[in-house]
Structure formats: structure tokens, C-alpha cells
């Protein structure tokens, strides 16, 4: 059984979806959810499924304390599911091509520092984009610049609100993120 570690900063709907999805498979299991936000709803969501959580500070993330905890688990895959801090280079170097992120836009558009959540959806609506979507990509040392694994678009009519765009993106995330993770786990080479 492959080991998955999830990082999240907020409500945790994607984390919960991943936990539920893999609870019903033989390929992998979420071992722990890491969060930098002691008030994040993801903590409650994980605990509802019996998944332990690790709460850490930004300093602990960048002082290798989080890396030490990850190394104790030896995950096959690290999944960033709404994790808002830049991922540290020591973890990236320790787990090359084993860390993925989901981004609520079609990269390379609307990527980079500060481009997350409603900031992206407001920009997409403001720029009258004809489509948007999700991107699942490997994590490297730069925000949203790792190799793209998967993209799925959704057509926009032009009169959606940012909240309606967010809803469309959420549907894509819920459907495709666990499937892409499963394919990755099936194809991991050691």
C-alpha cells in the first residue's frame, strides 16, 4: 500500500476527497495531513476519518523539522491540496518528482505568488476569459512552474461571478485530483 502525505492550509475539501477516495482502494492511503494553520477546517475533516494531523509553524517548515517528520513516514507521494506556503527546497530535493500540487487555473496563466483561490477567479472574470480549469503539476522551487501532469478546462459563458467560477473549478478538482493521484501511484518507479 502506497503512502500519501497531504498538505493543506484551509477548509480541506480536496484533502477530504482524497482521504475518502483512497480509503476505498488498495493502492494507497493518506497517512497524515500536515497544516500550517491551527484553525484550518482540514484538521477536523482529517480527524473525522481517523487520519492524524501535524500542525506546524512556517519556521518549522523552513528549519527542516517538517522534513524530519516526513522522513519518518517515507511517503510515496506528497500532495499539496490548497497549501498556501511556498514549499521548501530541502523537501523538494528529498522527494524529487514525488510532490504534486493542484492549481485552480490553466497554468501558466494565473500562476505565481499571490495567485490562489478567489484571487484567481476574480482575475479570470475580470479579464473575461473564455475558459479556465485546473492544473495538476509537480512542485519545484518556483510557484506553479513544475512540470504539468494534467489539465482539464471548463468553458465560461462570460457572465459567471467569481463564486460561480470557483464552483466549476471545485467540481473539476473533486473529480480529477484523486484519479490523477491514483495513476501516479500506479506508475511510480523506484
**Which residues carry out catalysis?**
103
Between CA 106 and CA 132 the distance in angstroms is 6
122 CB-contact burial (10 Å; exposed 0-12 / middle 13-18 / buried 19+): middle
How many C-beta neighbours within 10 Å does residue 8 have?
A: 29
Phi then psi dihedrals of residue 53, to 5 deg: -125, 150
**What DSSP character marks residue 86?**
P
Closest of 11, 75, 15, 80 to residue 51, by C-alpha: 15
> Would you call 43 helix, strand, or coil by DSSP?
helix
Q: In which element (H, E) is residue 135 found?
A: strand 131-138
Amino acid at each position: 500500500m502506497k503512502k500519501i502525505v497531504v498538505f493543506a492550509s484551509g477548509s480541506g475539501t480536496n484533502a477530504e476527497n482524497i482521504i475518502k477516495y483512497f480509503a476505498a482502494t488498495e493502492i494507497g492511503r493518506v497517512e497524515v495531513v500536515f497544516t500550517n494553520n491551527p484553525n484550518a477546517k482540514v484538521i477536523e475533516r482529517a480527524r473525522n476519518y481517523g487520519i492524524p494531523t501535524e500542525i506546524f509553524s512556517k519556521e518549522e517548515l523552513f528549519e527542516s523539522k517538517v522534513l524530519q517528520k516526513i522522513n519518518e513516514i517515507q511517503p510515496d507521494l506528497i500532495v499539496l491540496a490548497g497549501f498556501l506556503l511556498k514549499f521548501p527546497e530541502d523537501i523538494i530535493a528529498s522527494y524529487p518528482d514525488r510532490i504534486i500540487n493542484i492549481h485552480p487555473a490553466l497554468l501558466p496563466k494565473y500562476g505565481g505568488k499571490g495567485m490562489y483561490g478567489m484571487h484567481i477567479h476574480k482575475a479570470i472574470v475580470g479579464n473575461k476569459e473564455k475558459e479556465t480549469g485546473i492544473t495538476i503539476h509537480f512542485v519545484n522551487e518556483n510557484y506553479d512552474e513544475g512540470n504539468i501532469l494534467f489539465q482539464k478546462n471548463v468553458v465560461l459563458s462570460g457572465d459567471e461571478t467569481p463564486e460561480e467560477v470557483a464552483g466549476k473549478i471545485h467540481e473539476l478538482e473533486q473529480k480529477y485530483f484523486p484519479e490523477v493521484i491514483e495513476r501516479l501511484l500506479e506508475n511510480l518507479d523506484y
